[in-house]
A and B are shown apart, each in its own frame.
Chain A
């Protein structure tokens, strides 16, 4: 059992929606923040605020230490060394950086990039745009009716022309956990760079980049109890040394003359301008908080709630569930629809009861086209959710169906 005191650490969970307590089942969109994170960010501003890496004075040195400590914490969480962790604004910026830099370094006319039909737009559009600039082509691996990657289609589309394989670790709609080590081994055999969108995995499960086998891994702080405006791109050191910078300007250079510049070593090479310093410090506190619970326990709790929700939804004949039926093969979320009722109506009716779920295309329009529906409902879970909340959610789905069917 997740310690009951965890809930008490999240001040927002004490608020009401109308006259109902908030039941928040949209952590896949953004998670709530424990007091420790809110406080760490505020304390930085109160006690240590200065720009990093530029001041000679001690306050700036102290701010730089806090910023770099946060990087070390994030690195330790994913089994990496700090020099391989680049702070970004979030997953979206990290994936734009990856697509741009890999494109510049590795992709030319007639080359191909392999994505999948289940990608979030953040791991699709940057590759489309890069391919357009480089005269290359984006191909997408099909998703099976069961919500898994079609392995035969992947093998068929992977070729020596494939310069990058970009894939979600956990789908934000289907919940599918993709077999990254196997994908990476196959991709590396043809010389492709492997880029993983880990926005829905790093917050929810133990992850070691060494075991994952990918070359670049992107995730967001705000989905893992941290602040908005901060995320990370982990990259294999040799690759980071090879890749050109994405943004250029202050703090990322070695030497500048009026007509050219040379780059600092990674990670500074990829962190132009003043970074989100307080947000990084807040993310460091979020990592501390998650480590305090233990990522194995985070994973176990997420799986327990997902199992409850999945079993309850599958029990209801008027509900359709998308993605794998085995909770062990899923992240901490379930997408579903209610027969004859639009997902937005389901979400509005649940909101009347103080229950926040997501309805829409979840930034995955091609996947919804494949599923044959314009939109779905999604409930997602995190450390502060309880079995009682899942039960309340299931009962509210029944009432929604009774109200409009």
Chain B
């Protein structure tokens, strides 16, 4: 296993769903102050599903690629499924992550869980 599998390089070079939503229903921000990585996830919900998702952030290739990949994993999925995404699901989708960098890879998941812990705003349906 190389620490930068093709999937990580691809998402790092070509981030998907990067940016901001207008009026997101849920927002979660997680940071690692020790290294300066920051990830912000925004969700728009419709009929109990993730209608739209964006991430924004800065930091290392692993945290940013993981964020990008996670947005693809949850786009269009029922909220209940999204809430059930495990660390290992993301790690294996990334092609495996070396031990010393696990906390970088799971940063967007921590942001996602923070977002889901919020009560949906009015109009979030």
Instruction: Tell whether A pairs with B.
Output: yes
Q: How far apart are the CA atoms of A404 and B8 in the complex, in Å?
A: 10
- Cross-chain contact B3 with A349 (CB below 8 angstroms): yes
- Cross-chain contact A344 with B4 (CB below 8 angstroms): no
- Cross-chain contact A375 with B4 (CB below 8 angstroms): no
Known: A344-B104, A349-B3, A352-B2. A360 touches B61 (CB 8 A): no
Contacts of B98 in A (CB 8 A): 348
What's the A-B contact tally at a CB cutoff of 8 Å? 46
- Cross-chain contact B4 with A403 (CB below 8 angstroms): yes
- Pick the contact of B3 from A341, A343, A352, A361 — CB < 8 Å? A352
Contacts of A343 in B (CB 8 A): 35
- What string of 1s and 0s marks CB contacts (under 8 Å) between B32-43 and chain A? 011111000000
> How many residues of chain B have a CB within 8 Å of chain A?
18
Contacts of A373 in B (CB 8 A): 36
- Cross-chain contact A361 with B100 (CB below 8 angstroms): no
Known: A352-B3, A403-B4. A345 touches B61 (CB 8 A): yes
- Cross-chain contact A342 with B35 (CB below 8 angstroms): yes
B29 interface residue, CB < 8 Å from A?
A: no
Known: A404-B12, A404-B61. A344 touches B3 (CB 8 A): no
Q: Decide if the interface of chain A is mainly helix, strand, loop or mixed.
A: helix
- Pick the contact of B100 from A341, A348, A349, A375 — CB < 8 Å? A348
- Pick the contact of B34 from A342, A352, A360, A404 — CB < 8 Å? A360
- Cross-chain contact A348 with B36 (CB below 8 angstroms): no
- Cross-chain contact B34 with A345 (CB below 8 angstroms): no
> How many residues of chain A have a CB within 8 Å of chain B?
16
A160 interface residue, CB < 8 Å from B?
A: no
- Pick the contact of B35 from A341, A351, A352, A375 — CB < 8 Å? A375
A79 interface residue, CB < 8 Å from B?
A: no
- Pick the contact of B62 from A345, A361, A374 — CB < 8 Å? A345
Contacts of A404 in B (CB 8 A): 4, 9, 12, 61
- Pick the contact of B101 from A341, A348, A375 — CB < 8 Å? A348
Using A344-B35, A345-B62, A361-B34 as known contacts, list a sample of 7 further A-B pairs with CB atoms less than 8 Å apart, ordered by residue number in A: A341-B61, A342-B35, A342-B37, A342-B61, A344-B62, A349-B3, A360-B35
